[in-house]
Amino acid sequence: MSLFRYSGLSTKVRAMSGKLLTQEDYQQLGSLSSVSEVIAFLKKKPSYAQLLEKEDERSLHRGRAEGLIMQSLFMDFSRLYRFSSLDQRRFLDGFFMRYEISCLNMIIRSIMTQGERLVDTEEYREVFERHSQIPLAQASSADTMESLIAALSGTPYKKVISDVYGSNSRELFDYELALDVFFFDRFWKLIKKDLKEEDQEVIARSVGTYIDALNLTWVYRAKKYYRMSAAEVYALIVPIHYRLTREQVRQMAEAADENELLAVVKNTKYGKYLDGEEQLNLERCMEKMQEAVHSVLLRRKPYSAACLDVYLYRKEREARKIITAMECVRYGLPSDKIREYLA
């Protein structure tokens, strides 16, 4: 049954995957010295040629450049959506919340810092009109939290942001955490309720692994950079545990420092991803772990929702890496450091 439902979509995904950037491409990106060189390089790549062909890389504004890169991700999402059945679209509808929240985080960050809107959301307008309840033009023009909340009337995000705004703790991180918890709670319920059994297994593993990785990363940062207490750490954790037990989460939250935390992590199911690292970077290890999990899912279940999930994960990672490369060259980082970020 899965083979019948996903054979055409799986073939489509394989064809689109052939256009993703390769490790050699990232090496070349790391050797470039300006944003205009990055854009000129991308113009030669199938995924970006049509989007960028009319743009003058010498005068392209930073925000528009990043918006166009993200538009490539949204265009691929739309291609897959059009090719999908009603069941598969239910999954994609839930998945799109990731993009909504990413956009809201960007808007909130701009409001709270009173800074320049870093990405041109006009590039998102068409896909948001098709797949989102958020009135993007109104939301992106908001210059206060009150006006953003008003713009989100009729969407589930109004309550999430209003609750934080009315609380005693309303830093940028509080908004980001509340939106993340909201997404994972809604998406986890969708997995259990709306997906067919063969899709539930693969998506639960993908999302569950992502939640565990996010919790591990947040706890690590809390211990290493901020020396947070156990009570403060508990407030950061997404309350969904996949392969981390409650006892392991307790031990991590109560660890005295990052070294004690890492000792706990090494005894979890994710400990193997820390092996062989000369200079341990937990965040890099978590990225490596997620790529390994996605590769296994696609290899074992190619005719399932894994083909959608894995492709969108890899395409989003590609977009983020390109934006990282542009930021690095903009600030004049040396090539070896840029390549390290893109590895």
* Per-residue confidence (pLDDT) for residue 74, from 0 to 100: 95
* More confident call, 247 vs 117: 247
Other CB atoms within 10 Å distance of the CB of residue 123: 20
Mention every residue, 6+ apart, whose C-beta is less than 8 A from residue 52. 39, 42, 43, 68
Instruction: Kindly indicate the confidence band of residue 24, based on its pLDDT and cuts at 50, 70 and 90.
Output: very high
- Does 122 have pLDDT greater than 90? no
Is the Cβ–Cβ distance between 233 and 199 less than 8 Å?
no
Is the Cβ–Cβ distance between 213 and 240 less than 8 Å?
no
Mention every residue, 6+ apart, whose C-beta is less than 8 A from residue 297. 202, 205, 206, 306, 309, 310
* Per-residue confidence (pLDDT) for residue 279, from 0 to 100: 72
Across 123-128, average pLDDT: 88
Instruction: Kindly indicate the confidence band of residue 17, based on its pLDDT and cuts at 50, 70 and 90.
Output: very high
Please state, in angstroms and rounded to a whole number, the distance separating the CA atoms of residues 174 and 178. 6
Render pLDDT for 76-91 as a digit per residue (tens, 0 to 9).
999 999 999 999 999 9
Render pLDDT for 314-341 as a digit per residue (tens, 0 to 9).
999 999 999 999 999 999 999 999 999 9
83, HSE (Cβ side, Cα atoms, 13 Å): 18
| Interior/surface letters 147-161, b for 16+ CB within 10 angstroms, e for the rest | ebbebbeebebeebb
Mean pLDDT lowest for which of 15-29, 34-48, 265-279, 293-307?
265-279
Chain length of the chain: 343
Q: Which residue has the tokens 């897959």?
A: 80
Please state, in angstroms and rounded to a whole number, the distance separating the CA atoms of residues 261 and 286. 15
Render pLDDT for 206-265 as a digit per residue (tens, 0 to 9).
999 999 999 999 999 999 998 899 999 998 899 999 999 999 999 999 999 999 999 999
Render pLDDT for 145-187 as a digit per residue (tens, 0 to 9).
999 999 999 999 999 999 999 999 899 989 999 999 999 999 9
What DSSP character marks residue 135?
-
pTM of the model: 0.94
Across 9-24, average pLDDT: 96
Please state, in angstroms and rounded to a whole number, the distance separating the CA atoms of residues 107 and 105. 5
- Does 13 have pLDDT greater than 90? yes
- Does 123 have pLDDT greater than 90? no
Is the Cβ–Cβ distance between 342 and 26 less than 8 Å?
yes
Structure tokens at 47: 């995924």
Is residue 126 classed as helix, strand or coil in its secondary structure?
Answer: helix
Is residue 153 classed as helix, strand or coil in its secondary structure?
Answer: coil
Instruction: Kindly indicate the confidence band of residue 1, based on its pLDDT and cuts at 50, 70 and 90.
Output: low
User: Which amino acid is present at 291?
Assistant: E
Instruction: Kindly indicate the confidence band of residue 119, based on its pLDDT and cuts at 50, 70 and 90.
Output: low
* Per-residue confidence (pLDDT) for residue 314, from 0 to 100: 98
- Does 117 have pLDDT greater than 80? no
With both helix axes pointing from N to C terminus, report the angle between 172-194 and 86-95 in degrees, rounded to the nearest 10: 160
* Per-residue confidence (pLDDT) for residue 291, from 0 to 100: 95
Q: Among positive and negative, which fits the CA dihedral 183, 188, 194, 200?
A: positive
* Per-residue confidence (pLDDT) for residue 259, from 0 to 100: 92
* Per-residue confidence (pLDDT) for residue 233, from 0 to 100: 93
